[in-house]
Amino acid sequence: MDTITVGARPLTVAEVVAVARQEAPVAIAADALERVARGRALVEHLADDPAPHYGISTGFGALATTFIAPERRRQLQASLIRSHAAGTGAEVEREVVRALMLLRLQTLASGHTGVRPVVVETYAALLNAGITPVVHEYGSLGCSGDLAPLSHVALATLGEGTVRGRDGEAADAADALAATGIVPLVLEEKEGLALINGTDGMLGMLCLALYDLDALWTTADVAAAMSIESQLGTDAVFAADLMALRPHVGQGASAANLRRLLAGSDIMASHRDPAVCTRVQDAYSLRCTPQVHGAARDTASHAALVAGRELAAVVDNPVLTGDGRVESNGNFHGAPVGYVLDFLAIAVADVASLSERRTDRALDRTRSHGLPPFLADEVGVDSGLMIAQYAAAGIVSELKRLAVPASVDSIPSSAMQEDHVSMGWSAARKLRRGIDGLARVLAIELVTAARALDLRAPLTPAPGTDAARALVRTVAAGPGPDRFVAPDLAAVTALVLSGAVARTLAPVSEGADT
């Protein structure tokens, strides 16, 4: 696996995912440690100044006016980490913690935080050793950065707290560091603050979400095409010239996918004759698919723009400037990231809602145009996929609740010094749950649409939709008497989350897009 270089340029979403999920090794850029050493020299100069400098010779937050004597500053930094490692609740996923660690490492390697080179090297060593500190669900308000999550990571570098190794087993941090030859840090002036003042947790989760959603939007197009085809809908409404009349980029991309997926369909050809099909318009859940899926794509594009800017940012307070100043600032505020996390949760909920409506239509004999009720084998004896739709509806209902923005909520903290916070961490946590829900709803639609296509035999689906139907059939049985449904849904959900369904679009010929 390629090594990811930190400190040379902004990281990409793909690089964050590679380190977080695939445990790609990291290396520090050749000139990064030189920048870090120069920044540290400035901090050490200011540490000797009798005038107070925030984070170097003072307390923190509401205690920023308290001067700390030189002989107490190591204790100050360690106390900061121990007191701020106050997370509670469920353990956060390994990939999230690794993303957070990588992004903090990138900022430390910028030379703008004032840490020593050994701090940068220690964070890289933890990542490469597969040591992941235990971080908890609650503790971040998204200002001043993701304080508690980052503090739990910093605590591990001191040889304190609990970590997990590559095998997933919990261990004392001191034992895990000793086993891998990593020397615990003794923090100097400014370093504790530099380790915890960042948007790294919420940004890491945004990067992971963008990576997952890229495949899920395509999966939604695949599932929709299967539903439209099996419900005898029309692809005429997705014509390129119609899409050009409303030139949203995402809408055009989604419509192009639908055209490619539906090209060459015997099922669709069977009802093109007006004498055979007297319907003038399809329902919105079929006809407006590219408008909704496209809006979700455009939302993700905006979120990716924000993520790119944040990946290029140095987030710390105070921060070392290029001309040698140490300045307090508000760049740790998570509003930019929090807003797009919430925006994505809205898009996720709406794409899932549309999917569930298409599933429901397929199961209703009054709207499915000739399919049996609930796609049951022996109507009355068998219930078919009736309750699968219930599951989709229950998930969609939860996704709507998760779409309520976290970033509009603010609870003052730190004795009113931090009187407006972003709640970006909370926005990221609920988006992760939303993405899981969307994958499950799409899986239910895929199972339903695949069965509906089978029931249209001897008419054959388009090559594009048939490839997806065949993939579903590798893990879920076709029409027949009632069977245990949950394992089929779980297996197809795994296909969705792996990106396998989205990849069925790739072989579809570009020439089919007319």
**Which residues are designated catalytic?**
54
Residue 343 CA to residue 19 CA, distance in Å, equals 26
Q: What DSSP assignment string belongs to 461-493?
A: --HHHHHHHHHHHTTS--SSS---HHHHHHHHH
**Residue 272 identity (one-letter amino acid):** R
Q: Which of 513, 514, 507, 504 is nearest to 218 (CA)?
A: 504
Dihedrals φ, ψ of 448, to 5°? -65, -50
Of the CA atoms within 13 Å of residue 195, those in its CB half-sphere come to 33
Query: 493, exposed or middle or buried, with CB in 10 Å at 0-12, 13-18, 19+?
Result: buried
Dihedrals φ, ψ of 70, to 5°? -55, -40
Q: Which helix (H) or strand (E) holds 95?
A: helix 94-108
Q: Which of 459, 514, 374, 447 is nearest to 222 (CA)?
A: 447
Q: Which of 358, 363, 385, 389 is nearest to 233 (CA)?
A: 358
Residue 172 CA to residue 428 CA, distance in Å, equals 28
Scan for tokens 């297996």, then name that residue. Answer: 491
Query: 129, exposed or middle or buried, with CB in 10 Å at 0-12, 13-18, 19+?
Result: middle
Residue 7 CA to residue 401 CA, distance in Å, equals 39
A 10 A CB-CB count for 50 gives 6
Tokens matching residue 85: 């490692």
SS3 167: coil
Residue 69 CA to residue 51 CA, distance in Å, equals 11
Tokens matching residue 28: 């520090």
Q: What is the CA radius of gyration of the chain?
A: 27
